[in-house]
Amino acid sequence: MSISSTPTTAPANGPELSRTPLSEQVGRHILEQAAADGLRPGSILRSEAQFAADFKVSRPIVREALRWLAGQGAIEIVNGKGAILQPASAAQLQLYFSYAIAIGQVQFHEIMEARKPIEVHSATLAAQRRTDQHIELMENLIGRMKTHLHNTDTYVDLDLELHFLIADAAQNPVLAHLIRAIRSTLNTIVHESLYKRRNRQQLEWVHSVHEDLVRAIVLGNADAAGRAMQMHFDEALTFLNRQAGQIKRKL
């Protein structure tokens, strides 16, 4: 297999639309080759020399491609062993969300809107698929959350743990990766925007919804679990919009 070093461009009379570096092209082909070879996380990839011969490129280009893959979290380069294939994780997605927020490409409320249907579906599946171990962990966790209800520093971390646990109970790795990536990225903002600004009554209402959510999952009531999670997000988005309106009126 040979790889063209010619970048992808628009027609001759139009502006150039994209330019994919050769090293990135090679990196993507390396992953495709690993999949074709049936490799799994923990497997050692072929040598630089083998990839260079396979793709008819120089070894420095292969080296750059491997460094690019390592930067994406797809492989780990270990001295004396070579490139080791890594499992997919939420870290790659979290990097995207963190960067998108940092440069202002997306706003907090936009991610919350996108997160809502994912978390609602996660809760629905969790009610259908949770195990006895999930139930035990959730019941313990919701009790700890009640104890720390008015300590927002602790409560927001426990809330993070609960959403991750529900995602695990849904037993869908795609949902779990998405939820971990999005919520991990937003944890500090959730603390500052959704919990720290609430009064005692609001915090108690939020916790009551968490309790309803866990109860529905424990009982295996998928519809009730989905409704509770939807209520949780609807209230959060309403609260955010109200806060934004108050800030604008002060300006």
Query: Domain residues of the chain, as ranges?
Result: 22-85, 91-250
Q: What is the mean pLDDT of residues 28-52?
A: 92
pLDDT > 50? residue 167: yes
pLDDT at 16 over 50: no
In this structure, what is the dihedral angle of CA atoms 107, 95, 34, 47, given to the nearest 10 degrees?
Answer: 150
Tokens of 152: 């927002």
Compute the distance between CA of residue 145 and CA of residue 153 in angstroms, rounded to an integer: 11
Looking at residue 5, its pLDDT comes to 54
pLDDT, tens digit (0-9, with 9 covering 90-100), for 84-125 = 998 877 777 887 888 888 888 888 888 889 999 999 999 999
Whether residue 232 contacts residue 208, with contact meaning beta carbons closer than 8 Å, is answered with no
Among the listed ranges 73-77, 89-93, 113-117, 150-154, which one has the minimum average pLDDT value?
A: 89-93
Considering only 49-58, 92-101, 111-120, 233-242, which range has the smallest mean pLDDT? 92-101
In this structure, CATH architecture of domain 91-250: Up-down Bundle (1.20)
Mean pLDDT value across the chain: 87
pLDDT, position 10: 43
Residues 172 and 68: their CA atoms lie apart, in Å, by 28
What's the pLDDT at 17?
38
Per-residue pLDDT reduced to its tens digit, 175-227? 999 999 998 888 888 888 788 888 899 999 999 999 999 999 999 999 999 99
The arithmetic mean of pLDDT across residues 19-24, rounded, is: 83
d(CA 154, CA 145): 8
Residue 71: the pLDDT is: 84
pLDDT of residue 125: 98
pTM of the model: 0.71
Please count the other Cβ atoms lying within 10 Å of the Cβ belonging to residue 204.
Answer: 13
Do the first three CATH levels of 22-85 and 91-250 match, i.e. the same topology? no
The CATH number of the structural domain formed by 22-85 is 1.10.10.10
pLDDT at position 135: 98
Q: Which residues pair with 84 in a beta bridge?
A: 44, 76
